[in-house]
A = this chain, B = another copy of it.
Amino acid sequence: MADWCLLVIGHKSHLVNLDLKIIDIKNFGNFPSDFLKKKKMGIEFDLFGKSSKLLPYNLSDIQKNLQRGPQIISPKDIAWIVYNLDIKSNDVVVEAGGGSGALTTALAQASFPKGKVITFEKNKKHYNIVQKNLDLSPYSDLVELRNEELMNQTESIPCNSIVLDLPEPQSLINWAEKSLELGGKILCYVPTINQVEKLLSSLSQWSELEISEIMHRTWQTKLDAILPDTNILGHTGFIVSARLLNR
């Protein structure tokens, strides 16, 4: 795990890697990381004339700085997935695929300190991106990242929750029934209604079926011109979840 830190300059914050020799802040300037390493957390110092300080960083700082690979699940959906699945310490969560690791990191934080996330990502390039992004966070120890495809033949894994962000999640429902503890939930994230239909067919024996769309409408924060933002996501994916009460 690299030596990350939140550098506050005036009213803005920047996630910086102190392992690099030179810290380069966009639209501001660059300077040796040694300069920062001598600073104590929370104590103000001068940086090119600006009042600055180092602070601990959190998950949202990481999420904003993920290396982009395959499409990243948006914050509104991550929030709902983690809550809907009721992830908490001690939980074992299986995730496939890994995407860019945005959800992986959030699942890991929610299951911290005593849970575990097992993430399947068959694509080597994506696998590397997930690994790199996980290293941004303090939770990489909780994640078992497998460079393989989750398939119906994969050995079952006793777990509390399963998240599938894959084109054909319906093909893994049998595996899920074998792996999931009774009372646990599966959640599938799919872009099209056609996929929702296939899922519904295969989940007919499950309980508490839900299909959700989460919309996040942000507003501009200028006091004299309060209005909703023009550009919002009209659609990301349908979230289909179900609970296993009988096997």
Contacts and interface: CB of A to CB of B under 8 A. Distances in A.
Interface of A: 6, 8, 10-13, 42, 51, 53, 55-60, 75-76, 78-80, 82-84, 86, 88-89, 106, 109-110, 112-114, 182-183, 191-194, 196-197, 200-201, 204, 207-221, 223-236, 238, 243, 245-246
Nearest to A196: B226
A205 to B, nearest CB: 8
Given A58-B86, A209-B221, A231-B234, 16 more contacts: A11-B245, A13-B207, A59-B88, A75-B83, A76-B214, A82-B82, A89-B113, A110-B110, A192-B227, A197-B226, A200-B223, A200-B226, A212-B218, A214-B214, A215-B217, A230-B234
A42 B197 contact: no
Contact of A246 (B6, B51, B194): B51
Nearest to A42: B182
Nearest to A138: B88
A210 B221 contact: yes
Contact of A216 (B53, B197, B212): B212
B83 A106 contact: yes
Contacts of A12: 207, 245
A108 B182 CA distance: 24
Nearest to A113: B89
A182 B53 contact: yes
A84 B96 CA distance: 24
A73 to B, nearest CB: 12
Nearest to A236: B230
Contact of A217 (B88, B182, B193, B234): B234
Contacts of A113: 89, 113-114
Nearest to A215: B215
Nearest to A208: B13
Nearest to A204: B223
A241 B80 CA distance: 18
Contact of A219 (B208, B221, B229, B238): B238
Contacts of A106: 83
Contacts of A208: 13
B228 A235 contact: yes
